[in-house]
Amino acid sequence: MHWAMVGWSHHKTPVEIRELLAFSNEQVLEANQRFKDRFPEAESVLLSTCNRVELYCAANEAIRLPASEDLGRFLADFHGFPYGDVSSLLTSLAGRESIQHLFTVASSLDSMVIGEAQILSQVKSAYELACNGRSASALMHQFFQKAATVAKRVANETDIHKRRISIPSVAVSEIATEFFERFDDKRILLIGAGEMGAETLRYLVDSGAQTITVVNRNAQRATELAAVYGARTADWDQLLDEVTVADLIVSTTGADQHIVQAASLKSARGKRGSQAVLILDLAVPRDFESEVAQLPDVYLFTLDDLQQVCDRNRQARQEQWPKAQYIVQQETDKFLAELIHRGSGTTIKQLRQQADQVKQQELKRLQSKLSARDIDPELEKDIEVSFDRLVNKLLHPPMKSLRENADSNHHASLIDALRRLFQLKD
């Protein structure tokens, strides 16, 4: 069995070129079908994400595996893109390297953000699309099933996925969840209806948040976002009233100055006798005056505070990388050994069957001659044992060579030579 991978990724290829070479799901299906028509004796899986376009291929015989240039041209030609313009950016891997690369990708060790969670589902989806497009069969099934197993080991045996590194995820998992035991009974206020706040709210809703109010200068945007989370809205001029009754505030406006002053907040809280409040000020410039943090029962975290946590978590993920990569190398060795065992098992079985058949024929011929001479049955038994030993000794050297070269590049050629020399048929 032979393997290859070609593609363009964030390591060498600018995003503007990756965008031109990217495939939608519909295009992936069509490309898989075209591949099968053009290379009927090979299998393929096409993986296309925002960071990579990679084509994985496999064939039972090396001569059936398309050349790297042919694969690269196939991808570029699909989009009518001149292959010569991107050939120098193409990554081409074969054999063990291509296998280890997929395992590394599936485990999120090759991503722009190490440990990001989306890539494994994208790898699984790519394999499913290849099955639907008839370009993936038994070889790719083994390959991609193993990739999922490797990714699961990395996730279970390292902390590489356990540290959050985006501002919204850290805001919830590292700050809010330590401040509150639960969110279903908390009043949450979102100031600003931008992407940062919406993503933070998504994490909070996933953690059980139910009572949410959205305030934004543009009331229409507030209404649209509130509809997504089943939240209510409030007018911008009610901002201070909403701030004083909230348990958790996420602020993400694009204002060029503070929208909440320490003095006004202190006065409002004093009149209402407000409880403790956690404020996640994710705006740049900051929405809350820094002196707000000095007020009783007010806990203010700014973007800088969260960024420090993100940086620490990113470093922690990096420290887990060697351990994760070791798992990938282990599983690559194991996968190759399994392939070799499957590939050589049939040949060894055929060789032994053929040798046993020859032995039985010669033994039967000899026994028919000896029976006319009234030979002692014990001697006949000794002769049969000697034949068995002779066959085993003759087969021992080639079997030993196969074992000693099981992990080398020569194993496939040895199997081929063995089949040719002993005229073994499929």
Tens-digit pLDDT profile for residues 366-413: 888 777 777 777 887 888 888 888 888 888 888 777 766 665 556 667
Asked whether residue 180 is assigned to any structural domain, the reply reads yes
Asked whether residue 327 is assigned to any structural domain, the reply reads no
How much of the chain, in percent, has pLDDT values that exceed 70?
92
d(CA 254, CA 281): 12
CATH value at residue 136: 3.30.460.30
Asked whether residue 263 is assigned to any structural domain, the reply reads yes
Structural domain containing residue 27? 2-162
> If you search the block for the tokens 């006004």, which residue do you land on?
264
pLDDT higher than 70, residue 342: no
pLDDT higher than 90, residue 161: no
Q: What is the pLDDT of residue 196?
A: 82
Burial class (CB in 10 A: 0-12, 13-18, 19+), 373: exposed
Q: What is the pLDDT of residues 243-299, one digit of tens each?
A: 999 999 999 898 888 999 999 999 988 877 778 999 999 887 889 999 999 999 999
Question: Could you tell me if 189 and 255 lie in one domain?
Answer: yes
Asked whether residue 324 is assigned to any structural domain, the reply reads no
Question: Could you tell me if 376 and 238 lie in one domain?
Answer: no
pLDDT higher than 60, residue 238: yes
Q: What is the pLDDT of residue 291?
A: 95
Strands 248-251 and 277-281: parallel
Q: Are 148 and 120 in contact (CB under 8 A)?
A: yes
310 is catalytic: no
Q: What is the pLDDT of residue 407?
A: 57
pLDDT higher than 90, residue 186: yes
Question: Could you tell me if 9 and 120 lie in one domain?
Answer: yes
Per-position DSSP letters for 127-153, written without gaps between them: HHHHHHTT---HHHHHHHHHHHHHHHH
Q: Are 72 and 90 in contact (CB under 8 A)?
A: yes
Question: Could you tell me if 66 and 176 lie in one domain?
Answer: no
Question: Could you tell me if 132 and 267 lie in one domain?
Answer: no
Q: Name the catalytic one among 50, 57, 131, 310.
A: 50
pLDDT band at 170 (very low <50, low <70, confident <90, very high): confident
Asked whether residue 92 is assigned to any structural domain, the reply reads yes
What pTM did the predictor assign? 0.61
Q: What is the pLDDT of residue 353?
A: 85
Asked whether residue 332 is assigned to any structural domain, the reply reads no
Question: Could you tell me if 144 and 11 lie in one domain?
Answer: yes
Q: Which region among 15-19, 45-49, 137-141 has the lowest average model confidence (pLDDT)?
A: 15-19
State which of 162, 180, 214 marks the end of a domain. Answer: 162
Q: What is the pLDDT of residues 55-99, one digit of tens each?
A: 999 998 888 899 999 999 999 999 999 999 999 999 999 999 999
State which of 162, 195, 218 marks the end of a domain. Answer: 162
Q: What is the mean pLDDT of the chain?
A: 87
How much of the chain, in percent, has pLDDT values that exceed 90?
47
pLDDT band at 421 (very low <50, low <70, confident <90, very high): confident
CATH value at residue 201: 3.40.50.720
Question: Could you tell me if 350 and 214 lie in one domain?
Answer: no
Question: Could you tell me if 110 and 175 lie in one domain?
Answer: no
d(CA 257, CA 133): 55
Asked whether residue 318 is assigned to any structural domain, the reply reads no
Question: Could you tell me if 224 and 123 lie in one domain?
Answer: no
Q: What is the pLDDT of residue 130?
A: 93
Asked whether residue 329 is assigned to any structural domain, the reply reads no
Q: What is the pLDDT of residues 213-236, one digit of tens each?
A: 999 999 999 999 999 999 999 999
Task: Please give the average per-residue pLDDT across 317-335, as a whole number.
Answer: 86
Max Cα separation, the chain? Answer: 122
Distance of CA 93 to the CA centre of its chain: 18
Question: Could you tell me if 291 and 234 lie in one domain?
Answer: yes
Hey, what long-range contacts does 357-362 have (CB within 8 A, 24 or more apart)?
359/387, 359/388, 359/390, 359/391, 362/387
> Please, what is the Cα angle at 104 between 101 and 105, to 5 degrees?
85
Q: What is the pLDDT of residue 233?
A: 96
Greater confidence (10 vs 77) lies with 77
Question: Could you tell me if 271 and 287 lie in one domain?
Answer: yes
Distance of CA 288 to the CA centre of its chain: 40
State which of 162, 182, 203 marks the end of a domain. Answer: 162
d(CA 146, CA 39): 24
Question: Could you tell me if 253 and 357 lie in one domain?
Answer: no
- C-beta neighbour count of 38 within 10 angstroms: 11
Q: Which residues contact 82 (CB under 8 A, 6 or more apart)?
A: 76
d(CA 213, CA 347): 70
Per-position DSSP letters for 44-91, written without gaps between them: EEEEE-SSEEEEEEEESSGGGSPPHHHHHHHHHHHTT--GGGTGGG-E
Task: Please state the domain count of the chain.
Answer: 3
